[in-house]
Amino acid sequence: MTHATDVTTLMADIGTAARAVAPVLAAAPSAQKEQALHAAAGAMRASVAQILAANARDMAEGAAQGLTPASLDRLRLDATRVEGIAAAVELVATLPDPVGRELARWQRPNGLDIARVAVPLGVIGIIYESRPNVTADAGALCLKSGNAAILRGGSECLHSSLALHGCLVQGLEAAGLPAQAIQLVPTTDRAAVGAMLGMSDFIDVIVPRGGKSLVARVQADARVPVLAHLDGNCHVYVDAEADLEMARSVVLNAKLRRTGVCGAAETLLVDQAVAHSHLAPLVKALLEAGCAVRGDAAAQAVDARVSPVTPEDWDTEYQDAVIAVGLVEGVEGAMNHIARHGSHHTDAIITGNAATAERFLAGVDSAIVLVNASTQFADGGEFGFGAEIGIATGRLHARGPVGPEQLTTFKYVVRGVGQTRP
């Protein structure tokens, strides 16, 4: 048997098992799923030593392979981080069960009673990179939403993921749920990813979690529907009727609270009508906070530290303490700029004018549009979803934060008394 056949067989076995247990999960009562999640969190707390030992092995191998310090930091677990992972699993347990919600119900003139009822998607494949916590987060969210999960983590975090996955399985078994409800692909062979992308018989949707190259590969090659986040080129537009203090506070937060998150602002647009009053304070505040500024002529005129913005800058997601700054002609100019350069992720306007705000909210075609609030609120937790498996930038099914509800679909339940169609 060749090596490729090994992986193909392994993945087919995993897919078959996931498909087989999906109906059990779909029918699992809320209390049983909650019990499994609480038990899994308990197992993580009881297994801190083993989890950290597994993580130490990943860290040693990663260091030997020359992982960057940033990658090693993403990979590193300590007792506090393990407790955070367990607490996140417990939080998912306490969320409302998204399965079985009656989304709509109506009667037809012929007496048919039609209900649209939330049901799980089925089997969800998660492909992720070096953060071991995704193993627990994604597994917990899939279980909460009644889906079977196939987790394929980065090779760097395999041992940590196996340890955390073992705790999830303990939770499942404690609650009488099948261990195959959450499966972790137990190989670092990259062929496993290719196999998952083609498993349309076994996997209903794939969620990639990681860098742009991973997500782009999944989107290009998947024969299975994908819920993915590609770019987060987010804008803050400061309108002529913006309160300057509010603008300063929101811009600094949107850009700098965390620069590596997808909701971080990458471009600041300022209404040219208030260039004289608003541009310099905003640019200086960014510079003083340690942010590099690449600006148009007006922004460059503010401060010698502002470097010239290039056409590419407007399309760049820096994910760093860098921002592009330019003037636009009012809200229409801002909307045109965002339509040309934005990524349909998250964009904000700062204005005191309600009509201008509504124009922006209606006209900007992004998953999340905000008025007078930071783009860094683009997060399932901040939306009240309790947790998220990612932020979707596609248009179908889920858009924006993908929480437990977005991991369900629906079916129509029709109740009659013998009706036939004329």
Pick the closest to residue 130 from 206, 55, 205 (CA basis): 55
Query: Residue 414 corresponds to which tokens in the numbers above?
Result: 């029709």
- Candidates 265, 376, 389, 393; binder of a second copy (CB under 8 A) is 376
Query: Residue 79 corresponds to which tokens in the numbers above?
Result: 């007792």
Contacts of 422 (CB under 8 A, 6+ apart): none
CB of 165 to a second copy, least distance (A): 25
Among residues 232 and 400, whose Cβ is nearest to a second copy? 400
What whole-number distance in Å separates Cα of residue 264 and Cα of residue 319? 7
Among residues 400 and 404, whose Cβ is nearest to a second copy? 400
The string of DSSP letters for 235-287 reads EEEE-TT--HHHHHHHHHHHHHS-SSSTTSEEEEEEEGGGIIIIIHHHHHHHH
Q: Say whether residue 106 binds a second copy (CB under 8 A).
A: yes
Under rule CB under 8 A, which residues in 261-320 are in contact with a second copy?
none
Chain centroid to Cα 357, Å, comes to 27
Q: Say whether residue 250 binds a second copy (CB under 8 A).
A: yes
Under rule CB under 8 A, which residues in 219-238 are in contact with a second copy?
225
- Binding part of the chain for a second copy, among 186-194, 280-288, 317-325, 392-400 by CB under 8 A, reads 392-400
Among residues 280 and 361, whose Cβ is nearest to a second copy? 361
Q: What are phi and psi of 105, to 5 degrees?
A: -155, 135
- Candidates 1, 64, 304, 417; binder of a second copy (CB under 8 A) is 417
Strands 322-328 and 292-295: parallel
Among residues 213 and 420, whose Cβ is nearest to a second copy? 420
- Candidates 82, 136, 367, 387; binder of a second copy (CB under 8 A) is 367
The string of DSSP letters for 130-177 reads S-THHHHHHHHHHHHTT-EEEEE--GGGHHHHHHHHHHHHHHHHHTT-
- Binding part of the chain for a second copy, among 73-81, 157-165, 191-199, 372-380 by CB under 8 A, reads 372-380
CB of 46 to a second copy, least distance (A): 32
Q: Say whether residue 366 binds a second copy (CB under 8 A).
A: yes
- Candidates 369, 387, 389, 402; binder of a second copy (CB under 8 A) is 369
What whole-number distance in Å separates Cα of residue 284 and Cα of residue 282? 5
DSSP label at 112?
-
Does residue 172 contact residue 41 with C-beta atoms inside 8 Å? no
- Candidates 75, 77, 121, 192; binder of a second copy (CB under 8 A) is 121
Beta pairing partners, 269: 237, 326
CB of 55 to a second copy, least distance (A): 28
- Binding part of the chain for a second copy, among 55-63, 152-160, 243-251, 304-312 by CB under 8 A, reads 243-251
Q: How many residues bind a second copy (CB under 8 A)?
A: 61
**Angle separating helix axes 79-94 and 30-46, nearest 10 degrees:** 170
Given the rule CB under 8 A, which residues bind a second copy? 23, 26-27, 106, 108, 112, 114, 119, 121-122, 204-205, 225, 243, 246, 249-250, 252-254, 257, 339, 357, 361-363, 365-374, 376-377, 379, 382-384, 394-397, 399-400, 409-421
